[in-house]
Structure 1
Amino acid sequence: MLEEIREYVDAAELILVGIGEEFSIKQAGREQVMEAYETLAGLLKGKGYFIVTLQTDDLIYESRLAKERIVAPCGSDAAGNVVTDEEYDESMYLPQWEVYTKWLQNTLNHKLCILELGVGFAYPSVIRFPFEKIAYFNQKARLVRVHSEFAQLTPEIRERSLSVTMSPIKLLTEQEEKRV
């Protein structure tokens, strides 16, 4: 399955990645999550990409992924500012969100691969619904949705999409092991 995803990525000019609640140390150990991030970094190597993550554990910043291409609207455990906190300060991620939205504007009418990795319905207005909308309006976009339970696709984008019912961490770690 990872090879098919690789083909989507290779055919794209730009890659938009959404990292959801399944891409978590609660789902797998720290070592597996870091291995999955490293596989993702290899997959994105040499491509123009941006990542929106719902994770607050900051592990993504320990990977080889470019920090300036990541936005974390749900906050950061290390900064003590998480969306579930009563005193959450949304302004902390807004400068990077602006960088993301400017990058996103430049994806229209380009071959865009949208990778959703473990994005469910915890905060669907941040990744899931906007990514579907992007795939719908950009006819050159291809969506890859990886989730152990919620890999469904809307009928409007199904022809240009790939649905994978699997844990994203398992996909990125076990598939990589088979390749060695």
Structure 2
Amino acid sequence: MLDIDQIKQILSNMNFELEENTERVLNILIENDIISENDIAEKLEVKINGARKALYKLKEVGFVEYTKERDEEKKWWYIYFWKLNRGRLLEIYQRYKEKRVKEIIKIVKEEKEYSFESKSGDKYSYDAALSMNFISEDGKPLLEINNYEFLSNLDEEMHKLNSEIEELKILRSEYKAATEVIEE
């Protein structure tokens, strides 16, 4: 459903940078439903710790999971098997966008609250500016804020994000339905 380029784009959009080794691990996870960390290290031709470091970095984002099984040869040892959870990635990405929408709403609310600012960047509501006779604490006149374009850009970004969130909801439900069919 999600190919490597789409996954990389999602990670990039969330400001998650892939190091070369992490990207190679991601490629291996995409190609395999489930794979042991030993096999990943072998494919990468790196020590197991190098593979684990990349796997843990991907796990931090929350869309890579593992299970562990006892090693038959070494009873006290575990083998970890890793897999990519595309549905979880879509969920995380949706939450990321929803969080951004909330941030924009907060910024818009704050920006609409202020009408004037000083040359040093301090912002004041109309009432506060009036009570100061439109003169800042440093004795210079307050400037009226013209943030129409800024607010318009934020509004546009918010509408775009809301549209993308709706698309993600559809994609998530399609993915869930597809994986349920596979599991049956």
The alignment's TM-score, normalised by the length of structure 2, stands at 0.24
Larger Rg: 2
Using CA pairs below 8 Å that are at least 6 residues apart, which structure has the higher relative contact order? 1
Structure with more helix by fraction: 2
Structure with more strand by fraction: 1
The alignment's TM-score, normalised by the length of structure 1, stands at 0.24
